[in-house]
Amino acid sequence: MTDPRPVNPGVRTVCIDAEHDGQRLDNFLLACFRQVPKARVYRSLRSGEVRVNKGRSRQNYRLKEGDMVRLPPLVSASSPTTGVAPGADLTRVLNDSILFEDEYLLILNKPSGLAVHGGSGQTIGLIEAMRAIRPQQKYLDLAHRLDRETSGVLVLAKRRAALVGLHAALREGEMDKRYLTLLKGRWRGGGRRVDYALRRSSGRNGDRTMLVDAAGQASSTAFTPVQVTELASLMRARPHTGRTHQIRVHAAATQMPVAGDDRYGDREFNRTLRKTGLNRLFLHASRLKFQHPVNEETVQVDAPLPDDLNRVLERLGIDTVPGTDQE
């Protein structure tokens, strides 16, 4: 298929290849124009700006290999051709962060402080940067997300078939995700699950905030102590559901918030930890294990704890734990 992200956006026609055969027309358009408002994309469908084989088509039309799709000149802010490109330092960091790659998947150790996509004041995110670094890669998309301040394992799909399979695994809870996190205070007892339903609440600035609410969506996180002190406890966290900010909210609900969490955390605790050099959220996606969406082999990827977090643990007298040291 012709790349739907040209240097000079304008009316263009693309031929659907086998990679996009069977995809809904609206989903195809939303992928072409990732940061154009959805309402604008759907309006282009209703108005006839989008044509399939020279005729109007419904949003739920399933594309077929060989279909010719007319794309209107909607500006996609996610395109790497918008004039924003990663600098040499970011390019080097991302190339060095690759943990696993094959024909279908690209798995990175995402650095803290980098959003997974641009927008909300971020001129460029990880996905835009990787598309710019690899212009020859016709398809590259996020299989899931990590918060901007969270580091660790992040999966990109290089084929739509892989993305569909990964999304199905996520929906069915078939991805085994493990995190390392530092919580306030001494954890009592062994491992346990925290089950609090969560609901989304929008702040004054449109920020996403999650609240514990029995009427919300069922959510579950398993916490296991690694090493505990009176000041802080190093924990493994395994989310069994995938709600926004889930680990952070569940930790806060136990009165043991995540260190460095400016939204759900404890300000005094965070000030104390800043003296150890902690200037970010102490939450790291350390392991991801799943069945490959195409060849069905088991894929397990471990991301070592970043040096800045290791230094914090050393200053607290907590033994550093490599990302592979997990049950």
**Catalytic annotation, residues:** 147
Residue in 191, 250, 248 with CA at minimum distance from that of residue 218: 250
Distances (CA, A) of 150 to 28, 78, 114, 220, 305: 29, 21, 9, 19, 11
What's the CA gap between 111 and 132, in Å, rounded? 18
Under 8 Å CB-to-CB from 306, ≥6 apart: which residues? 111, 112, 151, 284
* Antiparallel, parallel or unpaired: β 208-212 and 105-110: unpaired
Joined tokens for residue 144:
């899931």
Q: Which of 235, 231, 229, 230 is nearest to 247 (CA)?
A: 235
Closest of 200, 204, 207, 213 to residue 253, by C-alpha = 213
Displacement of CA 197 from its chain's centroid (Å): 21
